[in-house]
Amino acid sequence: SSMQKKLIKVNPTDNVAVALVPLASGENIVFEGENVSILSDVKAKHKIALVDLNVGDRIIMYGVLVGKASQFIAKGDLLSTSNVKHESDKVTGKTETIGWSAPNVDKWKDRTFLGYHRQDGQVGTENVWLFFPLVFCENRNIEILKDIFEKELMKPKENDYQLLLRSLVNAESGVDGNEGKSNEADLFNNIEVKFITHQGGCGGIRQDSHSLAKLLAGYVNNPNVAGATVLSLGCQNLQIQIFKDALNEINPNSNKPVLIYDQQQIGTIEAMLSSVVKDSFEAIKKANQQARKPAPLSKLNIGLECGGSDGFSGISANPTLGQMSDLIAALGGSTILSEFPELCGVEQELVNRCTDEKDGKRFLELMQWYEKSVVDAGSGFDMNPSPGNIKDGLITDAMKSAGAAKKGGTSPIVGVSDYGEYISKPGLNLLCTPGNDVECTTAMVGSGANVVLFTTGLGTPTGNPVAPVIKVSSNSELAAKMSDIIDIDTGGIIKGEKSIDEMADEMLEFVIQVASGTIKTKAAILNQNDFIPWKRGVSL
């Protein structure tokens, strides 16, 4: 359409442009008052050179170095993995302090969401009773519990524990014997029961167990969790005491119910599971008495993430998240920008946005440690873009990073945290995690996120057991094709129909509905409960 622009330059200093639509070789485009003749077929989302680039010339996009020409690239020709190599500027420290003018939030400041108020002042967007193991040896017992709790609280199937839980449920709801399920569904209308399994807790280096203990403690402390049932074998690296210490470190005054069972102490699986079923049922019944009540938007803690990114992610979906992050920061809420391999190349701006010099230093130290560990493992950040990213126009890590960093908006950075540290500072926080979708979501929720916003250009089904994950598409084709996983479509920005500000307002409105329990995310409808801890060994 004539409305639709064909090319976009994201920063005035860029020497490349992004194709908004497919371009044909031989096409002539007038762009920014200049004639650009297209020299080869260019798929939408891919980049063309706006000037002749000689070997070694710097390629600038989003105003930062995203690569260097490895061959001559003529003006109007396509950038590809064969003529561009990854390159990013080295950063040693803060060079300036970047000012911020907060967006006007008058229309939001009195808005509330309906959440679960916890005794420590945090507010949950969900009310979840969580079952998890301290070690993989207990995964099977968690699976058995998942089976009986889900079947009994959803649809009946017989076994001994089932009958035990059935009789407890029936006694509670005044149903005699096995007379069907009339009131059982109503009995637990304010609580969800979720189950986590993992491959950790033993056999790795001791640091992995401590790291996992912090993550699991963060899940218990997350405001979306009402309480937890924890299974331990007994002899594993991740001792019960290590887990309790981690819990105490995050929240010394927590009085959240946590039921812990040690199989080697108790004896038989039957004895353990019978206790677990009885005790957990009582605890879940109590947790179900919590009701949603109004809370200010400052109680939102939003994880910002991208996965399955395409060449439009950094132009539509991620800047929308950035604008929304700025609104949340201005309202006194918290947001989390993570995925450190995807901040490679934009460090200077992030360091300059840190309000505390110490945070800028810590950010660079974490980045250097991470990059070194990846190189030691025989890889590098330049290996970060996935085949899907590359096919869709993200041909270097720095190019992917420059678009990914847009999720953090423009607000000051109030804190820098390492993996497993719990975040409570209002404003934008940086958290060291892998870029890997599930490991990253898992980490942000363990650090306190009560909602996650997740942008994608290619489509990914990722969800989380305790926090709603809202899926945002960068283009309308994806939203139409994978309508069962996409919640919000920002493709209108690419088509020139909507501004980023308008889209961010729609997004915040949607977040309020999800946080209040009135809209269920697609990931929740699909029952997508992904949980993968980061084995620090190496993960990218």
With cut-offs at 50, 70 and 90, classify the pLDDT of residue 180.
very low
**What integer pLDDT is reported at residue 182 of this predicted model?**
43
Least confident of 48-57, 129-138, 182-191: 182-191
Question: What value does the mean pLDDT take over residues 157-174?
Answer: 81
Residue 490 pLDDT > 90, yes or no? yes
- For residue 188, give both structure tokens: 């637990």
CA distance 435 to 440: 6
Residue 313 contacts residue 62 (beta carbons within 8 Å): no
pTM here is 0.93
Residue 178 pLDDT > 60, yes or no? no
Q: Edge-to-edge strand order for the sheet containing 123-124? A: 123-124, 112-117, 293-296
**What integer pLDDT is reported at residue 97 of this predicted model?**
87
Residue 155 pLDDT > 70, yes or no? no
CA-CA distances (angstroms) from residue 73 to 54, 77, 345? 7, 6, 22
> pLDDT tens-digit profile of 304-348?
999 999 999 999 999 999 999 999 999 999 999 999 999 999 999
Residue 269 pLDDT > 70, yes or no? yes
* CA atoms within 13 Å, Cβ hemisphere of 414: 18
Beta strand 7-8 with 16-19 is: antiparallel
With cut-offs at 50, 70 and 90, classify the pLDDT of residue 162.
confident
Residue 462 contacts residue 454 (beta carbons within 8 Å): yes
* CA atoms within 13 Å, Cβ hemisphere of 369: 13
Question: What value does the mean pLDDT take over residues 77-93?
Answer: 93
Residue 310 contacts residue 460 (beta carbons within 8 Å): no
Residue 498 pLDDT > 90, yes or no? yes
> pLDDT tens-digit profile of 440-487?
999 999 999 999 999 999 999 999 999 999 999 999 999 999 999 999
What is the dihedral sign for C-alpha 178, 179, 183, 189?
positive
- For residue 263, give both structure tokens: 């199989």
- For residue 61, give both structure tokens: 């996009």
> pLDDT tens-digit profile of 369-409?
999 998 988 998 888 888 989 898 899 888 999 999 999 99
- For residue 340, give both structure tokens: 């450190």
Question: What value does the mean pLDDT take over residues 275-300?
Answer: 96
The 3-state DSSP class for residue 479 equals helix
- For residue 469, give both structure tokens: 């994950």
Alpha helices in 383-475 (DSSP H): 387-391, 397-404, 437-446
Residue 534 contacts residue 434 (beta carbons within 8 Å): yes
CA-CA distances (angstroms) from residue 525 to 53, 153, 510? 49, 17, 16
Residue 53 contacts residue 72 (beta carbons within 8 Å): yes
Question: What value does the mean pLDDT take over residues 276-289?
Answer: 95
- For residue 539, give both structure tokens: 């993960």
Residue 301 pLDDT > 50, yes or no? yes
With cut-offs at 50, 70 and 90, classify the pLDDT of residue 528.
very high
CA distance 174 to 177: 9
**What integer pLDDT is reported at residue 159 of this predicted model?**
72
Number of other residues whose CB lies within 10 A of the CB of residue 203:
13
CA distance 439 to 227: 23
- For residue 185, give both structure tokens: 């569904």
Residue 371 contacts residue 397 (beta carbons within 8 Å): no
CA distance 183 to 252: 39
CA distance 366 to 379: 17
**What integer pLDDT is reported at residue 535 of this predicted model?**
84
Which of 431, 455, 459 lies closest to 443 in space, CA to CA? 431
**What integer pLDDT is reported at residue 158 of this predicted model?**
60
CA distance 515 to 411: 23
**Average pLDDT over the chain, rounded to whole?**
93
The radius of gyration of the chain's CA atoms, rounded to the nearest angstrom, is 25
123 CA to centre of own chain: 19
Residue 154 pLDDT > 70, yes or no? no
**What integer pLDDT is reported at residue 3 of this predicted model?**
60
pLDDT above 70: percentage of residues in the chain: 95
CA distance 59 to 17: 11
List the helix and strand counts (H, then E) for the chain.
17, 22
Which of 291, 269, 324 lies closest to 453 in space, CA to CA? 324
- The position carrying tokens 């033993």 is 202
**What integer pLDDT is reported at residue 341 of this predicted model?**
92
CA distance 191 to 278: 17
**What integer pLDDT is reported at residue 540 of this predicted model?**
56
Q: What is the largest CA-CA distance in the chain?
A: 83
> pLDDT tens-digit profile of 201-238?
998 888 899 999 999 999 999 999 999 999 999 999 99
- The position carrying tokens 């934009």 is 346
CA distance 238 to 143: 20
**What integer pLDDT is reported at residue 538 of this predicted model?**
52
**What integer pLDDT is reported at residue 363 of this predicted model?**
97
Question: What value does the mean pLDDT take over residues 111-131?
Answer: 98
Q: Edge-to-edge strand order for the sheet containing 128-133? A: 192-195, 128-133, 225-232, 258-262
